[in-house]
Chain A
């Protein structure tokens, strides 16, 4: 069965997420049909959603302007999987500690934007992630960290004792960008492990 994968495409590294979900699907003998979401009406038909990295202020503005925000919330309420990376995580959080970002409240965490500093402080590093045998090549770009985690949220990875990957029901959120490397294991974790189990 073809997986309809919606990639939120109002702004950010959209094509990278599309390529990543296609790679992950192929590895599971599935095919993914990527749907770029820049307007309302497309999310309800998607099996899974990917919320890419980009600028959370811009993405937040546009998903509300275009009426996509409520559709993402309904998708999560229906228990359908989501992977949200970096800006996607910020937009998904309960609280972004910043009134410039109107969040979706689909991951019960509070995030600090740009927590590592500016771009010159951005980095890549191997990261241990729960459920993965070997470390994951994590790329952090002006990344947020999670500084409060709700009761039902599972922490999947920490960096310097601070959560950088979490699962809240059907939603996996990461501070880093699994879509920037060719390693499909975070996409597996978010979609195929849960879909198949």
Chain B
């Protein structure tokens, strides 16, 4: 029956395989971790994946200086520690960092504005990689430019490290509003929209026809509590990244478990009430409105 199956016909790193990986993360919580101990806690709390970086965004903000890809030794340690996917962050436009992460075994690369931007003009050509990429976006045109470059997953670009969900909401609303507008447009109007917004035409039409982004869309940036996570799911996100919100909290294990439970029960206020009681104090945070423009990370890489 199966002797004929030809092992030579297999293909790796196709769009289907990369986007498929992102789809497997849906309905899940991806947690930022800086070492294997945190990765262990995240997996035990029910994270679908962990995102490794040198320090969480709240600490990057405090510390200042250039933020780079973390030492891959740590990534390898985390891969040994947990069975869930392990992701890593590369600087925007820093192809070499992404290559290193892929070689180290990262299951997905986040081309991230949380790190210092390496290229003022171009993002990484993500189509060249076998590993799938996730990129941030503040609006639909930005999201479609990233998908055109090969991103297999999009996330909002909420202000990382603030614990203020405000900007993630704004970005998600921007994306949803534009998709709604496009759905109501005639073919030539969609063409015009693509030209005006510097968005790839083919993807504009695909998005309009499907009524959603062609890839999975997560919320990220400023999500600090179970209620924040539920809010973003109510806004139509496919899943949640939590950065400083877990390990900046008083009790990371309890906070992690509560955010996971909140994502599964995002539309059930009674359940959410119980979930919101458990996790202990959240991260302190900093309101987005108090940041000067040069302190904001979301403007990196448009």
Contacts and interface: CB of A to CB of B under 8 A. Distances in A.
B5 A11 contact: no
Nearest to A60: B46
A141 B2 CA distance: 20
B27 A125 contact: no
Interface stretch (A76-84, A126-134, A187-195): A126-134
B5 A135 contact: yes
B264 A11 contact: yes
A124 B21 contact: no
Interface in B242-273: 260-261, 264-265, 268
A141 B83 contact: no
Interface string A157-175: 1111000000000000000
A57 B43 contact: yes
Contacts of A181: 16
A10 B13 contact: no
Q: Of residues B6, B12, B130, which shows the largest number of chain A Cβ atoms within 10 Å of its Cβ? A: B12
Interface stretch (A26-34, A41-49, A103-111, A115-123): A115-123
A185 interface: no
Given A55-B48, A120-B105, A158-B2, A180 B265 contact: no
Contacts of A39: 265, 268
The SS class assigned to the B binding surface is loop
A123 B28 contact: no
Given A54-B27, A125-B11, A38 B264 contact: yes
B20 A141 contact: yes
A16 interface: yes
A113 B260 CA distance: 22
| Interface size range of chain A in the complex | 35 or more
A61 B21 contact: no
Nearest to B103: A120
Nearest to B263: A11
A111 B14 CA distance: 26
B7 to A, nearest CB: 6
A155 B83 CA distance: 26
Given A11-B48, A58-B47, A159-B5, A122 B17 contact: yes
B84 interface: yes
Interface of A: 9-16, 38-39, 53-55, 57-58, 61-62, 65-66, 86-87, 98, 100, 113-114, 118-130, 135, 139, 141-142, 157-160, 177, 180-181
Given A9-B27, A13-B20, 18 more contacts: A10-B27, A12-B23, A14-B26, A58-B260, A118-B79, A119-B21, A119-B131, A120-B130, A122-B17, A122-B20, A124-B16, A125-B10, A141-B24, A142-B107, A158-B5, A159-B2, A159-B5, A177-B20
8 contacts: A13-B23, A62-B46, A124-B16, A125-B5, A126-B9, A127-B2, A139-B16, A157-B2
Interface of B: 1-2, 4-7, 9-14, 16-17, 20-21, 23-28, 43, 46-49, 79, 83-85, 102, 105, 107-108, 130-132, 260-261, 264-265, 268
